[in-house]
Amino acid sequence: MQLGDRDLGTRQVNNTTIVTLEINGETVRAPAGTSIMRAAAEAGIPIPKLCATDSLEAFGSCRMCLVQLDGKPGLVSSCTQPVQQDLRVVTQNDEIARLRRGVMELYISDHPLDCLTCAANGDCELQDVAGQVGLRDVRYADGSNHDNDRIDTSNPYFTYDPSKCIVCSRCVRACEEVQGTFALTIDGRGFASRVATGAEDFFASECVSCGACVQACPTATLMEKSVIDHGVPDRSIVTTCAYCGVGCSFKAEMKGDQVVRMMPWKDGKANHGHSCVKGRFAWGYANHQDRITEPMIRNGITDQWQIVSWDEAIQFAANRLTGIQKEHGQFSIGGITSSRCTNEEVWVVQKMIRAAFNNNNVDTCARVCHSPTGYGLKQTFGTSAGTQHFDSVTEADVIMIIGANPTDAHPVFASQIKRRVRDGAKLIVIDPRQIDLVRSAHIEASYHLPLLPGTNVPMMNAFAHVLINEGLLDENFVRERCDLESFNAWQEFATQEENSPAAVAKITGVPEEDIRLAAKLFAAAGNGAIYYGLGVTEHSQGSTMVMAMANLAMATGNIGRMGVGVNPLRGQNNVQGSCDMGSFPHELPGYRSVTDDAARGEFDRHWGVSLHNEPGLRIPNMLDDACAGTFKGLYIQGEDIAQSDPNTLHVEAALTNMECVIVQDLFLNETAKFAHVFLPGTSFLEKDGTFINAERRINRVRPVMKTQTGMAEWEVTQALANAMGYAMSYSTSAEIMDEIAQLTPSFTNVSFDFLDEHGSVQWPCNASAPEGTPIMHVDGFVRGKGLFILTDYQPTSETANRKFPLLLTTGRILSQYNVGAQTRRTENVRWLEEDTLEIHPADAEVRGIKNHDWVSIRSRIGEITLRADISERVAIGVVYTTFHHPMTGTNVVTTELSDWATDCPEYKVTAVEISPANHRSAWQEKFISRRDQQIDLLPVE
Amino acid sequence: MNNPATIIEPHRNQTGGTISALRALVLANGYIRDVDQKTVAELFNISQAEVRGIVSFYADLRTDPPANKIIQVCQAEACQASGCRSLTATLENRLNIAMGESTPDNEFALENVYCLGHCANGPAAMIAGAIYTNLSSADVDALMTGKPDTAPTEIVETNNRLIFNRCGRVDPLDFDAYRAEGGFPAAPISAESVLSEIRNSGLRGRGGAGFPAHVKWQTVADQLDNQKYIVCNADEGDSGTFADRLIMEGDPFLLIEGMAIAARAVGASKGFIYLRSEYPKAARILTEALQIAQREGALNESFDIALFIGAGAYICGEETSLLESLEGKRGIVRAKPPLPAIEGLFGKPTLVHNVITLCSVPWIINNGGEAYRRFGVGHSTGTMPFQLSGNVQRGGLIELPFGMPLGEFLDTYGRGTRSGRPIKAVQIGGPLGAYLSREHLDTPLTYEAMAAIGAGIGHGGIVVFDDTVDLIEQAKYAFAFCEHESCGKCTPCRIGSVRGRELMEDIQKNGCTKEKLILVKDLCEVMEKTSLCQMGGMTPIPVVSAIRHFPDDFGLEQ
């Protein structure tokens, strides 16, 4: 049933001093600093309230919660009054009751009396409190009111109706304290006070549509349009968002099997009751008309798709795959697991590939994003994952963000960063662009180092140089916790002249003094925390950079407690899980090498097979071999390599050359245009399993509706494995997790029951850590001693030159998610209808480019056309775009270069030239004709 | 139009700089444009929404192009008592517009303002920072063509002027003269001794609350924090009060020294004077006095004072609203706890005091707390600068020890009404003060005696009304003033003030009934007991006193 969570009025206070007081004659105990309101609520004595809510600081404006203290005259608001030893509180007597009715009478004298037809009927705190205080009569007749105030419907997801506003300011405070955007204010003063944005309406304003204000609003003033349309929900199920690596917990609030709204769950350990526009509102794609729910097959990719039964589709696929293997060999087929499907679904796919395909040709989308994290942190610390939880940021003193844009890509976590910075932590941003975190309302980075794309490693080397020369090494930590031989080698390397700030300034384009001061700020911090993203990993030296940051963290002793750490901001909702589930050609689940006989033996025994003992193909290898004609069949679960992988023309050529491309997805995506089998997938609202977020936190995904396709995705994969001769017989997802727990040392104690009881858990969760592991490497590194690794700078071969003098880097924005498969099928398109190219005014001017002009972007690989957006957020010489719309074809221009250790593509550095254009590029023309052709090939209704 | 960035730039690092920058933009361009708001947001790194919130809160921060000549006519009680209503009506007729409007050719506009501090010479008006006093309907043409005529406010030469003895006698900006009379001694006494003398003196806050000063000082002194502040509340918004204005214009070094002594006693390193924008002359004199004090070393790195000018909001005289405003935000009242003495400006321990309170300090320190205690009666120790205005022959500032009966005070200093008609009502303590009738004339002017009859000394303003006053109109005005100045945060004040005004209008139009009075009484109880601050909390006082002391005006049978 779930639905409404208890609201205790004011924030929880953690204090070891406990105070004893008396409320209405009852003895109550509470931590010192707790408000009387909260202490009473926790003791089962609710006090009427309107402006108080426990996600926000107490405000004291509604005057409903007044109580009497120690028999003295004069009442005080219990939300703003802390408990005191031996205080005697009375929360209810005749005078208080009369006054509460009097205040409520004033509220209602300025409120429309249409409760019965109001969208909040049944879910309105004003209604509740009017009932609680026993209001019977409003004697103020026909006075001034706000009934005729205009309703603002500009935001696609919620409305603002000022006529119902009680000026509790909860929305303003939520936007300030929780989200940190400060998009709301009160306009005017006195009776004229109304909530307002800084623009003419919500859509035009600074509002980022996170929904915190709607959630905080106690009346129908700010209300989801879905609730206005469908009414108040009647039950809820706790599940996990399917967008980014923050992994927010939500209550899916339902009527029947229809989702009415997604409400952030207060007990979610990653998000603590907050959300962003995507998870909160952009879930309608699950019911979009583009959704395909029936299996389809076709002989060739220019043939018409045929709708068939599941059995027929599975058999068709199995026959083709086994046929290919007979003709081209054991290694001619493989698969890609999804970073967005559940762990259970991913596990079954990699198991099918190893046990039924009989090879190790399995890879995942982490290849193209955080594979260097896996490699780099494993080498230095021994674990392929981040070291902290999100709450750790609350104790950071200096926060260093490198190659990440949290306000756009991990918005809920960005709000936590901003709150910490407003509380006094310092911020360093290392990024070619002036991201929002550099300077936005009430936040300013102490240093923004706008380095040239591709120069991350020398920047870290300069930091090392500075910290050693300034005597800021944490020698105790290094001596106790790290491998001294590697440290000595590293120290000698770091102090070389080529790593000095002066030398590095020339390479990076950042002033020497800024480098020095930023390095000192970080190194001298009590708690220094590093957060990084794809701007670190998607480079030819991605792994090197990860190791450089790990070196820095060890040298400054910033590991193993709150407020520090090396924190990868993992992009996808389950990319961490997908990696943990062994979706790698060289590693079995739990990051053990396929060549490790003991590990492989365990799987052999359990699965009743003899697994191949050599590493298989990575995605780039699969594509290369496909072009060469030796790789012919591919099972792709929930990923769109034709849009998201680099060098699109190469990907298209590879796919075209294959004989059996199987796509398991929700929509006909770019890759499906090259497919022979389409296996319809399920949205997160239909899945029953788990996701793992950037904190290593395993969260439950619970189904709120039955599958639209008739089969769970793992059931489909299981059927294919069976059809190819390997017997699998899971009957529930829980069983799959039980097997995962048996075979993965970090997951031993995990099960659905465990998760239902604990809410969520961060792995490792096993005998040595039965309740999970919030912070890693507390006493020692997983590998024993932390290893320093030398990080020589090898510049990428992709440098700006006369022909391609600018450097293109790519990224994401708040309202769209990655390839946009989900978000483009929601109202979020209103915020970004097309990808644009950000270019500095100086670069635009010499090329004769004006704002909004069409421009052509050309690299040595390919060419596309888009509109220009002239901005000083990029430095001179750097241009930037997003990749949310398939027709943009951003990856037509990105290159084949990649990280030396993991093949993670170097999306972030492409040498390009920009010039005015008046037509689409050749690829884009071809895209349009192919798109139209493939739409024609869909089954006729 | 000038570039907003150049106008805003000098204020970027000032405390409360957002408001100062916005005021500067109004001064430069006449009003605030969208581009100005966006530039303020950008340069101060706050959101556009926040800027909009600030601009919309303060009356001075206008967003429409102003008329060429804006005539601001004071509508507060003292000027009401001396005839501002008929002056306003004449102006409205003459210009053919209503109060609050502009003429079609944008040549003239009429705006209301609440208290210019020239209450003893009302009715008063302000045009472009110049004050005009003793106005009558006959002066309307002169007002429109603008002949400045500010009559000085008399400071009566009573004995025992512990605060005002130098005013009128010295050049306010002569620092050497100030020092020669004992100011800024080279070897000041210790902080502990200062605290002790203040405690002995029994000094109570002169702003209106009358809270024992030494309690606040000790609380701030006891806080362990490297940064503490002292803030002087010079937002003298009460109608009928002008003592702060006179002392700031007449003896600014007294205030500066008082602040310096208090700062040393509590450990504050930085002081602020929050001055209302309706006192332009005081602003000029204080600015110069601060510069002189800095030059002479009386203000230095260990203690310095900055002047902040408000932007037209009475509520900013409430100490927590003042602190919000001084931080550059909307003047919203804060809940207490925490007390400003513990968590005040920017969350730091802050001593907030009225001008007169601080100006009382140097005498106490020079002569001892015991000596101060010998003036006055009971717990009302020391002297109070009473401010007499309204319908009196002779208004002005009269500094006296507490204790003189009200009637004697009026006879001695007011010398009867200006109109010659009998006194009907006396409002004491500002717009939130009680209306007393002839029955109360023998009440001594002390905190205790006034409290006993449901009234208060407040900031010492006494406004006299003759028998043409209509107490329903005055009660309505009490609600209307609250409506105008409410910060809007709490419901009893935000909505209650409007309902009260509407009730009074109904009574005026349709007569008074028992039910209506019960509703008024209930509303007054709600506002008194549940309002967040004294704006809403004390608005019932004039209303209830009007009904209780003048039942005939309400058409009630006794």
DSSP string, A626-661: HHHTS--EEEEES--HHHHSS-HHHHHHHHHH-SEE
Q: Of A225-229, A822-826, A875-879, give the lowest mean pLDDT range.
A: A822-826
Element (H, E) at A866: strand A863-870
Identify the pLDDT of residue A935: 86
B474: confidence class by pLDDT, cuts 50, 70, 90: very high
Average pLDDT of B312-338? 97
Instruction: Name the minimum distance, in Å, from the CA of A370 to any CA of chain B.
Output: 34
Average pLDDT of B228-253? 96
Residue of A nearest to B521 (CA): A102
Please indicate whether, in this complex, the C-beta atoms of B52 and A196 are within 8 angstroms of each other.
yes
Residue of B nearest to A57 (CA): B335
Identify the pLDDT of residue B152: 86
Residue of A nearest to B329 (CA): A185
Please indicate whether, in this complex, the C-beta atoms of B50 and A62 are within 8 angstroms of each other.
no
Residue of B nearest to A145 (CA): B495
Q: Which residues of B touch A188 (CB under 8 A)?
A: 56-57, 488
Q: 3-state DSSP call for residue A810?
A: strand
Q: 3-state DSSP call for residue A856?
A: strand
Between positions 198 and 257 of A, the ones with CB within 8 A of B are 198-199, 205-206
> CB-based contact (8 Å) between A112 and chain B?
no
- Reported residue count of chain A is 941
Q: Tokens standing for B418?
A: 């200006």
Identify the pLDDT of residue A908: 92
Please indicate whether, in this complex, the C-beta atoms of A198 and B48 are within 8 angstroms of each other.
yes
Average pLDDT of A145-150? 96
Angle, helices B243-250 vs B252-266, to 10°: value is 100
Please indicate whether, in this complex, the C-beta atoms of A190 and B57 are within 8 angstroms of each other.
no
Average pLDDT of B306-318? 97
B45, B343, B483, B491: best to mutate for the A interface, most A CBs within 10 A: B491
Identify the pLDDT of residue B1: 59
Please indicate whether, in this complex, the C-beta atoms of A167 and B488 are within 8 angstroms of each other.
yes
Between positions 545 and 584 of A, the ones with CB within 8 A of B are none
Other C-beta atoms within 10 Å of B3: how many?
10
Mean pLDDT score of chain B = 94
Between positions 165 and 194 of A, the ones with CB within 8 A of B are 166-167, 169, 181-193
> CB-based contact (8 Å) between A138 and chain B?
no
Between positions 6 and 65 of A, the ones with CB within 8 A of B are 58-63
Please indicate whether, in this complex, the C-beta atoms of B53 and A196 are within 8 angstroms of each other.
yes
Could you list the beta-strand ranges (E) of B15-163. Answer: 69-74, 108-113, 125-127, 130-132
Which residues, 6+ apart, have CB-to-CB distance to B197 below 8 Å? Answer: B189, B364, B365, B368, B369
Could you list the beta-strand ranges (E) of A200-331. Answer: 222-224, 235-240, 249-255, 258-264, 296-297, 306-307
Query: Is the pLDDT score of A395 beyond 70?
Result: yes
- Rg (C-alpha) for chain A, rounded Å, is 29
Please indicate whether, in this complex, the C-beta atoms of A58 and B502 are within 8 angstroms of each other.
no
Residue of B nearest to A444 (CA): B45
Query: Is the pLDDT score of A936 beyond 90?
Result: no
Other C-beta atoms within 10 Å of A438: how many?
18
| Closest by Cβ to B486, choosing from A75, A189, A441 | A189
| Closest by Cβ to B489, choosing from A58, A61, A198 | A61
Give backbone dihedrals phi and psi of A798, rounded to 5 degrees, phi first: -90, 80
Identify the pLDDT of residue A941: 62
- Alpha-carbon distance of B236 to A6, in angstroms, equals 46
Average pLDDT of B378-403? 93
Q: Which residues of A touch B523 (CB under 8 A)?
A: 102
Instruction: Name the minimum distance, in Å, from the CA of A102 to any CA of chain B.
Output: 6
Nearest to A357 by CA among A626, A843, A725: A725
Q: Which residues of A touch B485 (CB under 8 A)?
A: 190
| Closest by Cβ to A109, choosing from B313, B490, B499 | B499
Residue written as token pair 């999100």: A390
Average pLDDT of A233-246? 94
Q: Are B320 and B340 in contact (CB under 8 A)?
A: yes
Please indicate whether, in this complex, the C-beta atoms of A102 and B522 are within 8 angstroms of each other.
yes
Identify the pLDDT of residue B10: 96
Please indicate whether, in this complex, the C-beta atoms of B491 and A63 are within 8 angstroms of each other.
yes
A36, A49, A63, A137: best to mutate for the B interface, most B CBs within 10 A: A63
> CB-based contact (8 Å) between A935 and chain B?
no
pLDDT tens figures, A629-668: 999 999 999 999 998 888 888 999 999 999 999 999 999 9
Please indicate whether, in this complex, the C-beta atoms of A206 and B49 are within 8 angstroms of each other.
yes
Query: Is the pLDDT score of A1 beyond 50?
Result: no
> CB-based contact (8 Å) between A405 and chain B?
no
A72, A100, A185: best to mutate for the B interface, most B CBs within 10 A: A185
| Closest by Cβ to A199, choosing from B45, B48, B335 | B48
B40, B43, B346, B489: best to mutate for the A interface, most A CBs within 10 A: B489
Q: Which residues of A touch B48 (CB under 8 A)?
A: 197-199, 205-206
Indicate the pairing of strand A362-364 with strand A333-337. parallel
Please indicate whether, in this complex, the C-beta atoms of B489 and A188 are within 8 angstroms of each other.
no
Average pLDDT of B255-280? 97
Average pLDDT of A355-376? 91
pTM: 0.95
Q: Which residues of B touch A34 (CB under 8 A)?
A: none
- Mind giving me the DSSP string for B390-445? ES-SS-EEEEEETT-BHHHHIIIII-S-SSSSPEEEEEESSTTSEEE-GGGTT-BS
Please indicate whether, in this complex, the C-beta atoms of A144 and B498 are within 8 angstroms of each other.
yes
Please indicate whether, in this complex, the C-beta atoms of B47 and A61 are within 8 angstroms of each other.
no
B248: confidence class by pLDDT, cuts 50, 70, 90: very high
Residues B56-79 as b or e (16 or more Cβ within 10 Å = b)? bbbbbbbeeebbebbbbbbbbbbb
Mean pLDDT score of chain A = 94
B54, B530, B535, B538: best to mutate for the A interface, most A CBs within 10 A: B530
Q: Which residues of B touch A166 (CB under 8 A)?
A: 491
Please indicate whether, in this complex, the C-beta atoms of A183 and B522 are within 8 angstroms of each other.
no
Q: Which residues of A touch B337 (CB under 8 A)?
A: 80-82
Please indicate whether, in this complex, the C-beta atoms of B486 and A63 are within 8 angstroms of each other.
no
Q: Of A426-430, A751-755, B164-168, give the lowest mean pLDDT range.
A: B164-168
B499: confidence class by pLDDT, cuts 50, 70, 90: very high
Please indicate whether, in this complex, the C-beta atoms of B484 and A190 are within 8 angstroms of each other.
yes
Instruction: Name the minimum distance, in Å, from the CA of B498 to any CA of chain A.
Output: 7
Query: Is the pLDDT score of B558 beyond 50?
Result: no
pLDDT tens figures, B193-222: 999 999 999 999 998 888 999 999 999 999
Q: Which residues of A touch B331 (CB under 8 A)?
A: 189
Identify the pLDDT of residue A883: 82
Q: Which residues of B touch A199 (CB under 8 A)?
A: 48
Alpha-carbon distances, residue A547 vs A1, A398, A475 (angstroms): 47, 20, 19
pLDDT tens figures, A91-129: 999 999 999 999 999 999 999 999 999 999 989 999 999
Please indicate whether, in this complex, the C-beta atoms of A186 and B488 are within 8 angstroms of each other.
yes
